[in-house]
Amino acid sequence: MTGVRRYNRLFYVKIFHPLRIYSYFDPVKLFLSFMTLTLLSHQWKSFWRGRGVAKSLAMQIFLGFLILYLLLSCLFLGFSLGHFLHSWYPKQDPIRIYCGLILYYFALDVIMRFIFQELPVISVQPYLIQDIRRRQLVTYLNARSLFHFLNLLPLFIFLPFIFTNITPAYGAAAATAFTLSILLLTCFNHFGMLYVIRKAYLNTWWLVGFVVAVAAFAALDYFHLLSASAFSAFLFMNMLGKPWLVLVPLLLAALTFLNNRRFLLNNLYLEELSKKDGNKRSAEYTWLQQWGMAGELIGLDIKLILRNKRPRSVASISLIFLVYGLIFYRPIYLVPFKFAMLLFPAIFMTGLFIINYGQFAFAWQSSSFDGLLTSNLPVAEYIKGKLFLFSSASTIAFVVTSLYGFIDWRILPIQMAAWLYNLGLNSMLTLWFATYSYKGLDLTKSATFNYQGIGASTWLYALAAMLIPFAIFLPFFFSGYPWAGIAALGIVGLISFLFRGWWIEFLTKQFYKRKHLILQGFREK
Amino acid sequence: MITINNIVKSYRNVAVVNIPSLEFREGELIGLVGNNGAGKTTLFRLLLDLVRADKGEILSRQHNVAVTEDWKSYTAAYLDEGFLIHYLTPEEYFYFIGKLHHLSKADVDEFLAGFEAFFDGSILKSGKFIRDLSKGNQFKVGIAACLLQKPEVLVLDEPFANLDPSSQMRLVKMLKELAIRKKMIVLVSSHDLNHVTDVCHRILLMERGRIIKDIDTTADTLQELETYFQV
């Protein structure tokens, strides 16, 4: 018995020893240290001087407006939420409904983080051998990771509602505790997800586990086996009643933070933090061989997409947007005079890959372009391969989205016209446009918020590609013949497609005109 | 035969390459030497139509390389990693290049069997993409892919720089054999005067874009070059 007591006493002495307690504030101290600030300033420089950053002023202003717009939308949502909730559910307490939604936000936050969050690992490489303590580096890594738009978002979404609704009803103390809880839960998500992503990065089973867990929770909620909204309302209503409960999120946030810190301290080796090189195997797509050289080139593009981060995310975005129709194909739009609303998603779904991937058709291969152009591959053949890739992707999208025909058969002809346009005209125009892009791309960076290789012209093009079909369709639409407009769009696409021989010749010539500019741009990167 | 007529290429009004006339004949193994910035790589790029000449032309078998694409079928080059496709495994890359020259997989495999010693077991079936290979091994992939094309014109930029000593020796042997037996034009740039004088029949010394010496290699060539590069 005495032994146990002694052990307990020792433990007690150990964790509350003055020196020990002082060390608990280490992370905080380091957080504010000069070194962390220096490292952060390097990061700031590397961001603005990076290749992915929009260089031109016009582009920066445009992006600034875009970000401002997004934040203002969130702010608007935050301020008007109380009003909306009140008018949608007049009989219920808006705060209770609001509390019921919070957990969904955090669930969404988890998924968003899984997609958008990047691990700031490589950036420490040059510092590892300098005279900087590992603790400082780890603190820097943690501090740096906090600068993320997902951590900024809750401020805009939650604060307005807290000000307008919760403070009047529950008082300032409860509101402060509530705000703190939200921020701490954001930290919990942040550091928790960093750990999960890191684990998933090293070991694919974590990824599988994560997806299964998310799907399971979504299914439980969907089939009302477990109500996330009731649970969420219970949690946060309690929080409002008993402000001291803020200690729970504090504990959660501290735990994930310390866990992350521990993991980094123990594994601060680049080879342990970056992906384990699994055995890479050669792949062979024999089914592509029936198309000769064009098939071979498509195989090359498929490998490019599957094996590089940025094209992979571009392609998966195109896949994800195939469900776009679920939002737009609603009975209210399925009347002839609202056809314009249907044409948009149809073009978007069958053409997104062409617009997104095709604009950089050559730039994707910028790092091997010297080799491709000196190899025994006629440029016309190369261009043919690209067009073939575009039409295949568009056709696959068309076939898959044909399922929307079950909603209403009239969706099918609209999608068909959109598909023909993408196949016959959009492909060619996009490739033509691609011969004007002289900026190389770094394939290893992810696609989200990556503006490398993107200029103002890129945005203009994406806009034009969307507007051209409307230029064909709208005259008919306004004269009262929407179906004729749809048919006209399809026919224009088809005719252009039949002239693809001419297009290939034209595009080859265009390519040759700017070949050296493209090559030079790609080499500079 | 490759003929260079009055070629000029300038960047920011400084001529990087400025060659009034030059000829390469079949069976010649030509070494290009010169300090950094002398214009060696730019000359190669002009030859491969990777940069546009400000003036003049380069004829490969009487055809301007900037106008036709015919030269692609008999010319192979490796200047830097930009000539490789990084996200492929070495095998996939070889098969792709082979396909461009109508070689079947079996043809390529047979050819690669001859490179076993050169590859030293670290390239084929290494379980890596080309981007994960070391610089030296990437270079080996590039050279092998060049030779796979059975070229009649071969251009290599600093082939000795990243190779280990044994591979350097092997490469020297291969190049000597090829030029004599196959009647190729082989162009090699290098900073390694020993190797260049050992391998090449003819040495071009470049300085600020100009060919200041065009000599047939003799026993005294190494001495001559060393005197030039003396600091």
Mean of the pLDDT values across residues B63-71?
88
Q: Tell me, what DSSP letter sits at residue A359?
A: T
Give the whole-number percent of chain A exceeding pLDDT 70. 81
pLDDT for position A339: 65
Distance from CA of A50 to the nearest CA of B (A): 21
pLDDT attached to residue A7: 47
Instruction: Please give the pLDDT value at position A446.
Output: 58
Q: Which residues of A touch B87 (CB under 8 A)?
A: 303-304, 307-308, 443
pLDDT tens, position by position, A491-524: 999 999 999 999 999 999 999 999 998 888 888 7
A contact test, residue of B16, B50, B81, B94 with most A CBs within 10 A? B50
Domain assignments of chain B as residue spans, ordered by start: 2-74+152-229, 86-150
- pLDDT-derived band at A264, boundaries 50, 70, 90: confident
Rounded Cα distance between A301 and A297, Å, is: 6
* Most confident by average pLDDT, A157-161, A319-323, A396-400, A404-408: A396-400
Q: Is the pLDDT of residue A4 over 50?
A: no
Cross-chain Cβ contact A282/B92 below 8 Å:
yes
Give whole-number Cα distances, A391 to A149, A241, A497, in Å: 36, 60, 10
**Subunit contact A282:B52, Cβ cutoff 8 A:** no
Q: Residue range B200-213: average pLDDT? A: 91
Cβ distance of A368 and B80 shorter than 8 Å: no
Which whole number is the average pLDDT over A460-488?
Answer: 86
Judge: B89–A282 Cβ closer than 8 Å, yes or no.
Answer: yes
**Pairs from A391-395 (Cβ < 8 Å, separation ≥ 24):** A391/A423, A391/A427, A392/A298, A393/A318, A393/A353, A393/A354, A393/A357, A394/A350, A394/A351, A394/A353, A394/A354, A394/A419, A394/A422, A394/A423, A394/A426, A394/A427, A395/A419, A395/A423
Query: CB A303 to CB B50 under 8 A?
Result: no
Q: Say if residue A3's pLDDT is above 50.
A: no
Q: How far apart are CA A385 and CA A293, in angstroms?
A: 7
pLDDT at A427 over 90: yes
Nearest to B93 by CA among B124, B64, B55: B124
Pairs across A and B, CB distance < 8 A? 86
Q: Which residue has the higher pLDDT, B43 or A441?
A: B43
Nearest partner of B197 among B178, B168, B160, B225, judged by Cα: B225
**Which neighbouring-strand residues pair with B187?**
B30, B155
Mean pLDDT check: name the lowest of A115-129, A199-213, B62-76: A115-129
Q: For A374-398, how does the pLDDT look when each residue is reduced to its tens digit (9 = 90+)?
A: 888 889 999 999 999 999 999 999 9
Q: Are A75 and A163 in contact (CB under 8 A)?
A: no
Higher pLDDT, A243 or A45: A243
Nearest to A457 by CA among A436, A443, A471: A436
- Contact residues, chain A, for B99 at CB < 8 Å: 293, 296
Output the average pLDDT for chain A: 80
Q: Which of A110-119, A168-177, A265-274 has the lowest mean pLDDT?
A: A265-274
Provide, rounded to the nearest whole percent, the portion of chain B with pLDDT above 70.
100
User: B2-74+152-229 belongs to which CATH class?
Assistant: alpha beta
Average pLDDT over residues A447-455: 57
DSSP state at residue A243:
G
Instruction: Compare all CA atoms of chain B with the CA of A366 and give the residue at the minimum distance.
Output: B82
Query: Which chain A residue has the Cα nearest residue B68?
Result: A378
Quick check: B83 and A371 CB within 8 A?
yes
Residue in A278, A296, A523 closest to B96 by CB: A296
Three-state DSSP class for residue B203: strand
> In percent, how much of chain B has pLDDT > 90?
45
Neighboring chain A residues of B85 at a CB cutoff of 8 Å? 300, 365, 368, 371-372
- Residue A81 pLDDT grade (very low, low, confident, very high; cuts 50, 70, 90): confident
- The pLDDT score that the predictor gives to residue A1 is 40
Range scoring the smallest mean pLDDT among A54-63, A368-377, B217-226: A54-63
Best residue of B60, B73, B85 to probe chain A, by most A CBs closer than 10 Å: B85
Looking at residues A243-270, what average pLDDT do you find? 85
Tens of pLDDT, residue by residue over B140-184, are 999 999 999 989 999 999 998 888 999 999 999 888 888 777 788
Q: Write out chain B residues lying below 8 Å of A278, CB-based.
A: 127
pLDDT at B3: 94
pLDDT at A451: 56
Interchain pair B82, A367: CB under 8 A: yes
Q: Which residue has the higher pLDDT, A375 or A3?
A: A375
Residue ranges of the domains in chain A?
66-273, 288-524
Whether the per-residue pLDDT at A330 is higher than 80: the answer is no
Q: Which two tokens stand for residue A360?
A: 């950089």
Query: In this prediction, does ipTM exceed 0.90?
Result: no
Nearest beta carbon to residue A296 from set B81, B91, B99: B99
Residues of B with CB under 8 A from a CB of A: 48-52, 69, 72-73, 75-77, 79-89, 91-92, 95-97, 99-101, 127-129, 132, 149
* B204 bridge partner residues: B32, B214
Cβ atoms of B141 and B90 within 8 Å: the answer is: yes
A302 shares contact with chain B (CB less than 8 Å): no
- The region of weakest confidence among A182-191, A216-225, A471-480, A484-493 is A216-225
pTM of structure: 0.71
Contacts of A373 in chain B (CB under 8 A): 48-50
Question: Is A375 an interface residue toward B (CB < 8 Å)?
Answer: yes
Residue-level pLDDT at A209: 82
